[in-house]
Amino acid sequence: MRAATTIEVFDQAAARRPDEHAVIFPGQRATYESLRQSSLRTARSLRALGIGRGDLVGVLMAAEMHNVQTLLAIWRLGAIPVPINPRFKPSELRFVVEHSGMSLLLADETGLPLARQTELTCPLEAVDGEALRTGAERVAQGEVEDLTASLTAQDECLLLYTSGTTANPKGAVHTHSSLVCEGRNVSEHLGLTPQDIFWSPLPMFHCGGFCTMMAAWHNASTFCHAGAFDAGVTLDQLERERCTFAFPAFETIWLAVLDHPSYAERDLSALRVVVNVGVPERLRGMQERMPGVVQISSFGSTESCGFMCMGSVDDPLEMRCGTSGRPLPGMEIRIIDPETGREMPPGEPGEALLRGVTRFSHYHRDPEYTSQAIDAEGWFHSGDLLTKDQEGRVSFIGRLKDALKVGGENVSAAEIENYLAGHPAVKIVQVVAAPDARLIEVPCAFVELAPGASASEQELIDHCLGQIATFKVPRYVRFVTEWPLSGTKVQKFRLRERIAQELQSAGITEAPRLSSAGRV
């Protein structure tokens, strides 16, 4: 049996349930049939602009209905969407436009100001709330249908630039097959039915937005998106739409929902499963605050098309909070010593290697980096530190590059974050390396306090002293109310820059010395 393409999955769902909602945004909704028809009109408009098979098309838009309509239209032509973060600065947009070699950039009223500030190397087309319609009358629908029919599952389908937690992002290329398999895996693992409504706030330039959407369409259920995330609007949406599954993913998002003043009054009884990502202490705390819902965790990346591993609703609490579950069907994971390549025994941390049906194809226009990242046997070397238990469940430890080297000792930032997250005043914590003349680098914790809570730098340091190894204890604590975000991920490199600049300006070259009794 021939593997399906993304458009075949959507059109099959539209044939099954034409009058049911395919997509819901705040204030916007579209049935499968109405979205099919509008995406065909948009495809004809794009074809009139010369877009066809293999062309790259930038999508610089808010998370609204015309975004999804445009994505479907691009896929119908055999072209490849390049979703772009509207919060980019001109230099970042210029990099993506030039590096991708896109043929056209589409921007709505959210993206147009950025596009017009940027020196572009491709044509720019403005898209209104109804998506692109100009020129549709010049192209026969049959021309679009012929292009759609010629698609194969192995054709390139999506170019996602990594979220920029390092320097210039890399463009991960996915095929129709990887998106379709991801949707099938998630839908079947969670047990979605056509009556389910799957909610997500993850941006439509993020793999999390695409994998949730494809999971909903796999069995003709409804994809419900938060739009521009606002905790109050989200609670309205979860309650009104009777959402049954949710993938908030990041604690910066879900804690805002749980901490909203109206949360306790809301009827979220339809919600059955929430998929989150975070340190065990934080996951336990969030599970306690929603006892009627089963929370599971997951592990994945842009390169795995979103979910690579996922917990099971049948697992006991500690497994759901302490692990990210097992690999989804058709995916494999190995944990190795990154220096020797030796397979690590259960429970021992190492670099995660991934391969299988949802692994990305390659990095766009970067064969050298692709060959470094994907070995001859097809394993993607993720740079993530994980452990795997006897039953195959994985636990995220941190990033290889997120590890600190404190006086020669390897320290996981995630380990320190997990311990600090247990302090009642701490809402969110991110640990980065601060430069140090004596120890090379030391931990610095950036902390957002819980609503109404207070804590001092010394109090949080004292919380760690005597409880974790002294070399792991943060030497600096900085309080923040806003995080530098790239989509939904905290940009740790900006936090590292912030503390380094602060210390340099203050003439501080060496951190205070610590003992189990306090600072020395």
Buried b (16+ CB within 10 A) or exposed e, 12-43: ebbeebeebbbbbbbeebbbbebbbebbbbbb
For residue 90, pLDDT beyond 90:
no
Q: Report the C-alpha gap between 321 and 395 in whole angstroms.
A: 10
Domain total for the chain? 1
Domain around 429: 407-519
Give the pLDDT confidence of 429-479 residue by residue, as tens digits.
999 999 998 888 999 999 999 999 999 999 999 999 988 878 889 999 999
Q: Identify the pLDDT of residue 165.
A: 39
Q: In the chain, what is the greatest distance between 2 CA atoms, to the nearest angstrom?
A: 78
At residue 519 the predicted structure's pLDDT band, cuts being 50, 70 and 90, is low
Buried b (16+ CB within 10 A) or exposed e, 52-73: eeebbbbbbbbbbbbbbbbbbb
Q: Identify the pLDDT of residue 164.
A: 40
Three-class SS state of 343: strand
At residue 166 the predicted structure's pLDDT band, cuts being 50, 70 and 90, is very low
Q: Identify the pLDDT of residue 516.
A: 55
Q: Identify the pLDDT of residue 411.
A: 82
CA 457 distance to own-chain centroid: 31
Q: Identify the pLDDT of residue 131.
A: 77
In a domain, 20, yes or no: no
Q: Identify the pLDDT of residue 518.
A: 57
Are 433 and 441 a contacting pair, CB within 8 Å? yes
Of the candidates 155, 172, 119, the residue with the CA atom closest to the CA atom of residue 365 = 172
Of the candidates 340, 304, 344, 339, the residue with the CA atom closest to the CA atom of residue 324 = 304
In a domain, 62, yes or no: no
In a domain, 452, yes or no: yes
For residue 339, pLDDT beyond 90:
no
- From residue 173, alpha-carbon distances to 24, 183, 243 in Å are 27, 17, 31
In a domain, 439, yes or no: yes
For residue 163, pLDDT beyond 60:
no
In a domain, 201, yes or no: no
CA 257 distance to own-chain centroid: 18
In a domain, 48, yes or no: no
Supply the mean pLDDT for the chain: 93
**Percentage of the residues of the chain whose pLDDT score is greater than 90:** 82
> Pick the residue with more confidence: 334 or 408?
334
Model's pTM, two decimal places? 0.86
Give the pLDDT confidence of 407-436 residue by residue, as tens digits.
867 788 888 998 999 999 999 999 999 999
What's the whole-number mean pLDDT along residues 218-228? 97
CATH number of the domain encompassing residue 427: 3.30.300.30
Question: Which DSSP category does 490 fall into?
Answer: E
What's the whole-number mean pLDDT along residues 386-414? 86
At residue 346 the predicted structure's pLDDT band, cuts being 50, 70 and 90, is very high
The set of residues, in sequence order, having a beta carbon less than 8 Å from that of 341 and lying 6+ positions away, is none
In a domain, 481, yes or no: yes
Q: Report the C-alpha gap between 170 and 165 in whole angstroms.
A: 11
In a domain, 512, yes or no: yes
Q: Identify the pLDDT of residue 514.
A: 85
Per 3-state DSSP, the chain is made up of helix, strand and coil in percentages (nearest 5) of: 35, 30, 40
Q: Identify the pLDDT of residue 2.
A: 64
